[in-house]
Amino acid sequence: DTSRRGLYQMALNVYAFTCGWLTMPAALLLAGEKGSLTVPVPAYLIEHPKGRAIFDSGLHVETQTEPNRRLGRLAQYHTVGFKAGEEIATRLESLDVAPSKIDFIINSHLHFDHCGGNGQLPNATLLIQRREWEAGHNAELIESVYYNPHDYDHGHQVKMIDGEHDVFGDGSVVCIPTHGHTPGHQSIRVRIGADEVVMTGDACYLRRTLDSFHLPTTMYDREQMLESIRRLRTLRDAGAMIITGHDPELWKTIAQAPDRLAAVRTAATA
């Protein structure tokens, strides 16, 4: 690794990447909503003195050229906008970070737009909620929850976790269970200086979801998803910046690599 920042800095740094866009019926994100919505596919690099982690890895590179074949029946609901150079490996290389030097992949869950880049990070250990990993290998749930093992079965070392997990042992990067969207969905809480940032993944798609409990059309467990949103609201009310999973308006306010993510809470809570 020839990172221009050298070896890991003592301060924790977070970088946000846009790894493509998806256009879909708005009702998939907000029940009853008309029309379509084009949303970002985020991924994040977390640099810590003890290692590097990716939170969600975006789309599989094959969706750049063969999205219908790659997505199968999901292609009828999703139009992919994903150009060469937007995949996670190239995003990392733009920061002079070798994909082979990523220590952890932390997937919020195992849907195609959150783990499709896992195969580009060959040496990472996968941190995943046990119930999500098991769901992603249950034939019935693969069909009903829209999992594709080709996105996440790459032979990585897998560390299955149950509930909250302190990634580096100092409280700065913590996986938090936010089940409901899928059986074992998790979000991540990161401490940047004196501030906290929570990347929700699909536990909460949009600020409207967070503000008014406006749920999507489909989810694995409605009551669990509501409980997860309540937990995220509690964190927000305690001062955390909440970055909802696919909000195009919020995403405009989020610093993109090579700039570091900053905890500007007004952008997430206004």
Nearest one of 65, 60, 54 to 124, comparing CA atoms: 54
Whether 209 and 215 have beta carbons less than 8 Å apart is answered as yes
pLDDT at 269 over 90: no
Q: Is the peptide bond before 177 cis (omega within 30 degrees of 0)?
A: no
Distance between CA 63 and CA 71 in Å, rounded? 8
DSSP state for residue 61 in the 8-state scheme: G
pLDDT tens-digit series, residues 1-46: 444 444 334 589 999 999 999 999 999 999 999 999 999 999 999 9
Task: Compute the average pLDDT of residues 249-259.
Answer: 96
pLDDT at 262 over 90: no
Ramachandran quadrant class, 12 (left: phi over 0; alpha: psi -120 to 50; beta: rest): beta
Share the mean pLDDT of the chain.
Answer: 93
**Tokens 């929570």 — which residue?**
198
Task: Compute the average pLDDT of residues 105-121.
Answer: 98
Q: Give CA 239 to chain center in angstroms.
A: 21
Domains of the chain (ranges; CATH) run 13-269 (3.60.15.10)
Q: Taking the alpha carbons of 70, 153, 91, 111 in that order, is the dihedral positive or negative?
A: positive
pLDDT tens-digit series, residues 163-175: 999 999 999 999 9
pLDDT at 268 over 80: no
Q: Which ranges in the chain belong to alpha helices (H)? A: 67-71, 88-93, 112-115, 130-135, 139-144, 207-212, 222-237, 248-251, 265-269
**pTM to 2 decimals?**
0.92
Q: Can you spell out the DSSP letters for 225-248?
A: HHHHHHHHHHHHHTT-EEE-TT-H
Give CA separation, 21 vs 42, 113, 191, 199, in Å: 9, 9, 27, 18
Whether 74 and 143 have beta carbons less than 8 Å apart is answered as no
List, edge to edge, every strand of the sheet that includes 186-192. Answer: 165-166, 173-177, 186-192, 195-199, 241-243
pLDDT score for 266: 38
pLDDT tens-digit series, residues 146-196: 999 999 999 999 999 999 999 999 999 999 999 999 999 999 999 998 899
Q: Please, which residues bridge with residue 80 across strands? A: 22
* Beta strands, E only, the chain: 13-25, 36-48, 51-55, 79-81, 104-106, 125-129, 157-161, 165-166, 173-177, 186-192, 195-199, 241-243
Q: Which residues of 106-139 are buried (b: 16+ CB within 10 A; e: fewer)?
A: bbbbbbbbbbbbbbbbeebbbbbbebbbebbeee
The burial class, CB within 10 Å (0-12 / 13-18 / 19+), for 65 is: exposed
